[in-house]
Amino acid sequence: MNQAALDRVWYGDRAPGPLLGALERVYRGVSARRRAKERQQQAEDLVGKPIIVVGNITAGGTGKSPLVVRLCELLRGAGLAVAVVSRGYGREGRAPVRVDAATSPREGGDEPAMIARRAGVTVYVDRDREAAARQAFGEGADVVIADDGLQRLRLPRIMELCVVDGDRGFGNGRLLPAGPLREPVERLDTVDWVVVNGRGEFGGNIRQKRVDMSLEPQGFFALDSDQQLAVCEAADRLQERAASAVTAIGNPGRFFDTLASLGIETDVKRRFNDHHAFTRSDFEGLEGAILMTEKDAVKCAGLGLDNAWYLKVGARLPEQWEAQLLTTILGHLDHPSERQGNA
Report the chain's terminal Cα–Cα distance, integer Å: 32
| Residue 3: per-residue pLDDT | 78
- pLDDT surpasses 80 at 339: no
- pLDDT surpasses 70 at 340: no
| Residue 5: per-residue pLDDT | 85
Write the DSSP symbol of residue 320.
H
Q: What is the mean pLDDT of the segment spanning 148-176?
A: 96
| Residue 238: per-residue pLDDT | 86
| Residue 337: per-residue pLDDT | 54
Per-residue pLDDT band for 95 (boundaries 50, 70, 90) equals very high
Q: What are the DSSP E strand ranges found in the chain? A: 51-55, 82-86, 97-99, 122-125, 143-147, 159-165, 193-197, 210-222, 228-229, 243-247, 266-271, 290-293, 308-316
Write the DSSP symbol of residue 307.
T
- pLDDT surpasses 90 at 104: yes
Which tens digits make up the pLDDT trace of 230-258? 999 988 888 766 799 999 998 999 999 99
Question: Would you say residue 293 lies in a domain?
Answer: yes
Question: Would you say residue 42 lies in a domain?
Answer: yes
| Residue 119: per-residue pLDDT | 97
| Residue 341: per-residue pLDDT | 41
CB atoms within 10 A of CB 281: 8
Same domain, 39 and 54: yes
Which tens digits make up the pLDDT trace of 170-201? 999 999 999 999 999 999 999 999 999 998 88
Range of the domain at 112: 3-213+317-334
Q: Which residue has the higher pLDDT, 335 or 221?
A: 221
Same domain, 135 and 42: yes
- pLDDT surpasses 60 at 32: yes
Same domain, 155 and 95: yes
| Residue 334: per-residue pLDDT | 83
Which tens digits make up the pLDDT trace of 272-303? 999 999 999 999 999 889 999 999 999 999 99
| Whole-number percent of the chain with pLDDT over 90 | 85
Q: What is the mean pLDDT of the segment spanning 258-281?
A: 93
Same domain, 326 and 196: yes
Question: Would you say residue 341 lies in a domain?
Answer: no
Q: What is the mean pLDDT of the segment spanning 98-118?
A: 96
Phi, psi torsion values for 193, nearest 5 degrees: -140, 140
Question: Would you say residue 343 lies in a domain?
Answer: no
Same domain, 236 and 142: no
Specify the number of domains making up the chain: 2
Identity of residue 150: L
- pLDDT surpasses 50 at 69: yes
Please list the residues that pair with 82 across neighbouring strands: 143
Question: Would you say residue 340 lies in a domain?
Answer: no
Same domain, 91 and 74: yes
Q: What is the mean pLDDT of the segment spanning 84-89?
A: 95
Same domain, 103 and 238: no
Q: What is the mean pLDDT of the segment spanning 54-69?
A: 95
| Residue 342: per-residue pLDDT | 43
Same domain, 74 and 45: yes
Assign residue 15 the CATH number of its domain: 3.40.50
Same domain, 40 and 172: yes
Question: How buried is residue 80: exposed, middle or buried, by Cβ count under 10 Å (0-12/13-18/19+)?
Answer: middle
Same domain, 83 and 159: yes
Question: Would you say residue 174 lies in a domain?
Answer: yes
Question: Would you say residue 153 lies in a domain?
Answer: yes
- pLDDT surpasses 70 at 221: yes
Query: Per-residue DSSP letters for 125-141?
Result: E-SSHHHHHHHHHHTT-
| Residue 80: per-residue pLDDT | 98
Question: Would you say residue 46 lies in a domain?
Answer: yes
- pLDDT surpasses 60 at 338: no
| CB-based contact 339:192 (threshold 8 Å) | no
Same domain, 129 and 234: no
Same domain, 154 and 277: no
Q: What is the mean pLDDT of the segment spanning 17-42?
A: 96
